[in-house]
Amino acid sequence: MFNPDQLKLRRKTWIKAAGLPKHLQGWEFSDFTAVPADVIEDIQGWLSKVKDNKIIDAIGERSCGKGMAFYGSPGHGKTTIASAIIQEALRTFSLDVFPLNDVRPCYFITYAGLLDLKGEMMDDSVEESREILYDGIMGACSDEHRNVKILVIDDVGREHNNASAWNKSMLHHVLRTRFNNGLPTIVTSNILQGNWAEWYGEATGSFTHEAFYNIDLESTEGDLRQ
C-alpha cells in the first residue's frame, strides 16, 4: 500500500479527484497476492503501451483507444485491480502522458453512477461542474485538459435484471464515444464477455473484441470477501 498524502502535490490531487472510494485508495500491484501472475503481466503490458503513446489518442495505431475489461464472479478483485491500475498511472506516468495541467487524467465511476450522472444532464438546473465532469468522461470537453484519459466503469451488469433499453444503449454510447475519441476505458463486470451480446445487444457484444483487452479474473483464493 502507498499513502496518497505522501505523494507530490499534483499527483496527490489527481488521486483525490479520481472519484475513488476511500477504501480503494493506496492499493498497488504488490498487494494482490491472490491475482494470477499472468493477469498482472497483462496489465503491466497494457500500461507499457499507454506509456509508449500507443493507446491514448494514438492516431494510426491499431491499439488506439483500447482499454481493458475484467469479467468474473463477485469478490474476485476486479474493482480493486481496476482502481490500482489508474493509481499506478497517476503515480508513475510521465508528464508527456498526463500533462501537469490535466484536471483529472483518470476517473472511477460505477455504471449506476454514470447512469445517474447522465440523468442529471437532462435537468436544466444541473451544476456546471457536473456538466464538465460528464463531458470529460465522454472526452468531449473543448478544454483537452478536462477530458478523462483513462476511465474506469465499475460493476457493469449489476443493473441488468431491470435495465431498460435506454440503459443498455447508454453503455454502448459511452464506450463507443470514448473509443472513437482515442480514450481507453477499463470495465469490470460480473457478466462474462460471451453473454454481453445477450444483455447489451449484438453490437456491444461484438464491440468488446475491438475496444478491450479482455480478461477473465478468478482469484486464486476464491471469494476474497468471505
Q: Is residue 223 part of a domain?
A: no
Count of helix runs (H) and strand runs (E) in the chain: 8, 5
Longest dimension (CA), the chain: 49
Cα separation, 110 vs 114, in Å, equals 6
Asked if residues 123 and 82 have their Cβ atoms less than 8 Å apart, the reply is: no
pLDDT tens figures, 135-149: 999 999 999 999 999
- Cα-based torsion angle of the residue sequence 78, 203, 163, 188 in order, rounded to the nearest 10 degrees: 10
**Considering only CA atoms, which of 154, 162, 2 is closest in space to residue 74?**
154
Asked if residues 99 and 145 have their Cβ atoms less than 8 Å apart, the reply is: yes
Enclosing domain of residue 110: 4-216
Q: Is residue 114 part of a domain?
A: yes
Joined together, the cell numbers standing for residue 32 give 494482490
Q: Is residue 205 part of a domain?
A: yes
Cα separation, 27 vs 77, in Å, equals 12
Q: Is residue 197 part of a domain?
A: yes
- Find the CATH number of the domain harbouring 55: 3.40.50.300
- Please give the average per-residue pLDDT across 97-124, as a whole number: 94
**Residues paired with 107 in a beta bridge:** 151
Number of domains in the chain: 1
pLDDT tens figures, 159-208: 655 556 777 789 999 999 999 999 999 999 999 999 999 888 899 999 99
**Considering only CA atoms, which of 60, 49, 63, 87 is closest in space to residue 210?**
63
Q: Evaluate if pTM is beyond 0.85.
A: yes
